[in-house]
Structure 1
Amino acid sequence: MTTILVTGGTGTLGRLVTERLRAAGHEVRVLSRHTPPYAVDLREGGSGLDAAVAGVDTVVHCASSPRGGDEQAAGHLIAAARRAGVRHLVHVSIVGVDRVPLGYYRSKLAVERLVEQSGLGWTVLRATQFHELLARLFRTLAAPPVMLVPAGVSDQPVAAAEVADRLAELAVGAPAGRVGDLAGPEVRTLDSLARAFLRATGRRRAVVGVPLAGKAYRGFRAGGHLAPERAVGRTTFEEYLAVRRG
């Protein structure tokens, strides 16, 4: 079996990828800022990163932060992977990074380009937003008596577990370049998803759509982050909520 490094291996997605690869018998190293023995901040790089990738066949890059630093982190990871002779770099990105002019999306697109130009064997999978992300958003929006959501926006959430399944499959295969997107089973308006969240968690709130401004909002309204032709996910938002209870 191969030795695989999972960056962001304690996060929502990375933890699931790690579990699947270990269950399949692979040696998996978890890289995270605060988890020994590979406690490394990718934004800083350094000798700890070189130690983490030494002897590794495949890297699954799940680490990411909307607060910035993804491009710098990817640069350090790629440089270390080159030095170590890593065979395959698998990167998870987001559907719509090339269509929605959001700062975080631009950064994710830039990381895709770094991966493609890395000189390593590479695979990039884009996924739609996770059910977990929507649930966290709705918990915050449901705090006031009235739940305000962006008007005219739909989403196509997917189960993080299904994305983890696909990443684990890709990690043990040959480099495949840009593979087909992985999107959730349903395109739903945000207000319908918000009401599903309220029902599942026993909250009573009025849901009100609020128009926003800016190019990113227009990109979301236009559905740039959706992939209805790739609705290959199976778990609906209601099914996720029934298990997690919001």
Structure 2
Amino acid sequence: MTTILVTGGTGTLGRLVTERLRADGHEVRVLSRHTPPYAVDLRAGGAGLDAAVAGVETVVHCASNPRGGDEQAARNLLAAARRAGVGHLVYISIVGVDRVPLSYYRTKFAVERLVEESGLGWTVLRTTQFHDLLAELFAGLAKFPVVMAPAGVPDQPIEVAEVAERLAELALAAPAGRVPDLAGPEIRTLDSLARVWLRAAGRRRPVVRVPLFGRAYRAFRTGSHLAPDRALGKVTFEEHLARRSRGGGGR
């Protein structure tokens, strides 16, 4: 039995990683800001973080905050892991973080470099965006009379449970460095995915393709966030929404 710490273990991905590892009989500690006994703000570090990593063999780092602080959180976690003699750290990242000039992507790429240079055994997995994120995006856009989708932007969403399965496998294996990306089964335009969501939600809204500007938009339009040769996911966006409607939570 392996002792594993999952940061962000109450989140969309971390919760499923935790469930999978526990189902396999491993001892899993869940670290999040508000969940005892390991209620720790990674950005602050401190004695609580040292207690969380003490005796841990592997850390799966799922915690992230698009509003900022990920780099400091990673520095604190990596320092604590070194002090505790952790043998393996697994980090979840995003396809295209080295190609899309978006602030959050740059931060994720910077954390990748911190992990690589940490002196720990490490594994980094990049995936495409989760179905859940698109569903949340479209739910927000549908609050308006017209759903505005960035024109010409493709996406390749993946089921979060499939990502959790892969992360659990990597956590139980030896450090592997940067492993091949993991992507969803289909590449679809955002406006077509928006129409799928509207039909599933029973909402009637026109979808308007809106051209945007800037380097990040150009990178998304050219598919810098896609991995067509790694389309290993099985669950489509339609199937994800059907599962949600049956109460399966997208799992």
Q: TM-score, normalised by structure 1?
A: 0.99
Matches of 1:214 and 1:244, distance apart in 2: 35
Question: Deviations 1:176-227 (Å, cap 9, x if unpaired)?
Answer: 0000100000000001100000111100010001111111111111110000
Q: Aligned AA for 1:119?
A: G
Matches of 1:229 and 1:3, distance apart in 2: 34
Q: Aligned AA for 2:68?
A: G
Work out the number of aligned pairs and report it: 246
Give the C-alpha shift of residue 145 in structure 1: 1.2
Aligned positions of 1:28-67 closer than 5 A: 28-67=28-67
Q: Aligned AA for 1:225?
A: H
Is structure 2 residue 73 aligned with structure 1 residue 89?
Answer: no
1:117 aligned partner: 117
Gaps of 5+ in 1: none
SS in 2 for 1:17: helix
Matches of 2:59 and 2:87, distance apart in 1: 8
Indicate the percent of aligned positions where both proteins have the same amino acid. 79
Q: Aligned AA for 2:90?
A: V
Is structure 2 residue 196 aligned with structure 1 residue 192?
Answer: no
Aligned positions of 1:1-246 closer than 5 A: 1-245=1-245
Q: Please identify runs of 4+ aligned residues in structure 1 that moved more than 2 A.
A: none
Q: RMSD between aligned alpha carbons?
A: 0.7
Matches of 1:212 and 1:36, distance apart in 2: 44
SS in 2 for 1:74: helix
Matches of 1:163 and 1:205, distance apart in 2: 31
Matches of 1:146 and 1:102, distance apart in 2: 26
Question: Deviations 1:120-160 (Å, cap 9, x if unpaired)?
Answer: 00000000000000000000011111100111101000000
Question: Deviations 1:5-32 (Å, cap 9, x if unpaired)?
Answer: 0000000000000000000000000000
Matches of 1:42 and 1:217, distance apart in 2: 31
Q: Aligned AA for 2:44?
A: E
Matches of 1:215 and 1:63, distance apart in 2: 27
SS in 2 for 1:175: coil
SS in 2 for 1:226: coil
Matches of 2:229 and 2:93, distance apart in 1: 18
Q: TM-score, normalised by structure 2?
A: 0.97
Matches of 1:71 and 1:222, distance apart in 2: 28
Gaps of 5+ in 2: none
Matches of 1:127 and 1:92, distance apart in 2: 8
SS in 2 for 1:129: coil
Q: Aligned AA for 1:243?
A: R
SS in 2 for 1:216: helix
Matches of 1:188 and 1:14, distance apart in 2: 27
